Structure 1
Amino acid sequence: MRTAYLLGLFTGISAYDQRVEDPKLAPAARRNLKLEILLVMALSLGQSAVYSLVSFADKATRGPLGGQTTAMNTAKNTREYFDLAYQLLEIGFALVPVLLALYLMKRSTGTTARMIGFDLRRPGRDSLAGLGLFLAMGIGTLGVYAAGRALGITTALSTANLGDYWWSIPVLLLSAARHAVVEEVIMLGVLFTYGRKLGAGAWKIIIISAAIRGSYHLYQGIGPMIGNMIMGIVFGWVYHRFGRVMPLVIAHFLLDAFGFVGFLLLGPAIGIGA
């Protein structure tokens, strides 16, 4: 694998391209792969995209987006420990489509979680790469959000609304981890694997993945949709180039953790979301 990585640096061929073949598929096998990816998407981020589109239509027909607020990580019960139970259940069940996707991917394509780089073999390098992506994308994300707010095409974001409990920050961090794993494993590792098996080119998969990523953020406004599409293109290219999803999971986790916990700790003081 190290030889393939070094070869990729000099030839421009990604580790992903060297590892994944594009065999001739029988029509029945092709139909099965398409059905599996559609079902996974319908249970996870595709479902989120549909709800996001409806939510955006609702907000757009109510009044200017700039005058509205989108609340995230909201309380689910007025009693503290029932709220905690609901929060943990939601996070846990949200990860089930990831397990299903990984199971189907291995069964139908022979590709394992380790083969898409969703593992802990390289904690140091993955963490450094993830941190670098977080810093680069974090600056861009803040810029796109500020521009969207100034143009009135982005709602104010209130990203932490759990109440003042001892477990609020741990739950917010778990929520950030959940979003990172669901989005990056499915939108990159799984979608790329199925796309390549179906004969799609890398850039076609990158654009489709980025468009879906943008669509399920549309409920926040046009600015976050555009910003997440750009992030999807960058993340998609990085995954295509190096073939490991874990640095992207780490980067996504850091972005959401900073957004959620930072809002909880600093938001009221500096006016974030106002």
Structure 2
Amino acid sequence: MSTSGIRALLSPTRPSDIAVVTDRGRRRAIGVEIVIVLVLTFGMSGIYAILSLIEDELRSGGIGNQTIALNQSTSAVDLIDLVRQILAATRLFAIAALAVYLLYRSGVALSRAGVDRAITRRDVAWGAALAAGIGLPGLALYIIARELNINAQVLPSDLTETWWRLPILVLSAIGNAAAEELLVVAYLITRLRQLGWSENRSLLASALLRGSYHLYQGFGGGLGNVVMGLVYGRFYQVTARAWPLVIAHGLIDSVAFVGFALLRDRLGFLT
């Protein structure tokens, strides 16, 4: 990578058409909006995750003796379970839509926020590269954290074996990806830019938020997601493209969810 490329990664230039808001009333409104959005979504999830981590650490054996299922059945009645799984995914897509809508309503060009309608082949290629670059080190970090007894045993899928299990796992993976990347990265970083936050400061805020709501998995899950947030957030700041992040996240979660569901008996080394 060239010197200019390294410099761009360390201190990217804010896109010129995402202007800093100087009007005091509008700045206050943006701040209030951010707080409300985070309380309704991932900010509150972060607080719950921190409390869950503290509670698990106070239990016998600490977080390392706990087991957490990311996707689990919610009813013994198959149809009710299916509807609940669809509703959970719908909520995630609604969070993603809210992030995009609020940017649109604020007058930010969606193309500059990286969420325009066109998903290019380049977006797909970058998404696959980011998935590989984060997914494999993330798996290694999980194994190390388990060995150190600082992470819970995470079961990517604990759904009942039904005909709709695999499609729902993929839908959940895409929903998670859309909600997190469009709100925690595209929305939050863009809004903080409007408030005049530096690129590094807004990047850190986004990454710490991502790490916070994964702390229920343990310290390894929190740290791994902070690193993921730093990489994904910087990619977004440099390229102004959010779709590669959604694709990458969706691929990682799809492989984890579906792979575990199909190969659970052969993945004992992960537990």
| Cα shift at 1:273 | 4.6
Q: Which amino acid aligns with 1:233?
A: L
Matching of residues 14-93 of structure 1 within 5 Å: 17-23=15-21, 25-63=22-60, 64-93=62-91
Within the candidate set 178, 187, 192, 2:175 is matched to 178
Counterpart in the other structure of 2:189: 192
Aligned to 2:252: 255
The Cα offsets for residues 167-203 of structure 1, whole Å up to 9 and x where unpaired, read as 0010000100011001000111101111011000000
Paired residue for 1:97? 95
Which is worse superposed, 241-250 or 95-104?
A: 95-104
Cα separation, partners in 2 of 1:135 and 1:115, compared to 1, 3 Å: same
**SS at structure 2 position matched to 1:19:** coil
Give 5+ residue unaligned stretches, structure 1.
Answer: 1-7
SS at match of 2:15: helix
Name the SS for the 2:16 alignment partner: helix
Q: CA deviation at 1:94?
A: 2.7
Are positions 1:162 and 2:174 aligned together? no
Match in the other structure for 1:240: 237
Shift of the alpha carbon at 1:100? 2.4
Q: CA RMSD in A?
A: 1.9
TM-score when normalising by structure 1:
0.91
CA distance in 2, matches of 1:101, 1:263: 30
Mean Cα displacement is larger for which, 119-128 or 251-260? 119-128
CA contact (8 A) 2:181 2:245 kept: yes
CA distance in 1: counterparts of 2:89 and 2:191, whole angstroms = 26
C-alpha distance after superposition, 1:122-157 (max 9, x if no partner): 431001000000111011101110110010001111
Asked if the contact 2:92/2:178 (under 8 Å) is kept, the reply is: no
Work out whether residues 100 and 115 of structure 2, in 8 Å CA contact, stay in contact via their aligned partners in 1. no
Contact 1:14–1:243, Cα closer than 8 Å, also in 2: no
On the 8 A contact 1:16/1:242 being kept in 2, the answer is no
The secondary structure found in structure 1 opposite 2:157 is coil
* C-alpha displacement of 1:14: 5.2
DSSP-derived class of the 1:18 partner: coil
- Whether the 8 Å contact between 2:260 and 2:267 is mirrored in structure 1 is no
What's the CA shift string for 1:43-72, capped at 9, x where partnerless? 111121111111111111112222211111
Alignment match, 2:122 = 125
Residues 185 and 206, structure 2, Cα contact 8 Å, conserved in 1: yes
Mark the CA change 1:231 to 1:11 in structure 2 (over 3 Å): closer, same or farther: closer
| Maintained 8 Å contact 1:43/1:97 | no
CA change 1:273–1:145 in 2 (3 A) is same
CA separation of 1:10/1:228 partners in 2, compared to 1, >3 Å: closer, same or farther?
Answer: closer
SS of 1:114's equivalent?
Answer: coil
Q: Contact 2:193–2:199 (CA<8 Å) still a contact in 1?
A: yes
For 1:133, the aligned partner's letter is: L
| Aligned position for 1:203 | 200
CA contact 2:12–2:199 (8 Å) conserved in 1: no
Q: TM-score scaled by structure 2?
A: 0.92
Give the paired residue count. Answer: 265
Say if 1:95 and 1:182, in contact at 8 Å, map to a contact too.
Answer: yes
Identity, % of aligned pairs? 34
> Residues of 1 paired with 2:232 and 2:67: CA distance?
28
Specify every segment of 5 or more residues in structure 2 that has no aligned partner in the other structure, as ranges.
none
Q: Secondary structure at the match of 2:160?
A: coil
Detail structure 1 runs of 4+ shifted over 4 Å in the superposition.
8-11, 13-16
Contact 1:102 1:112 in 2 (8 A): no
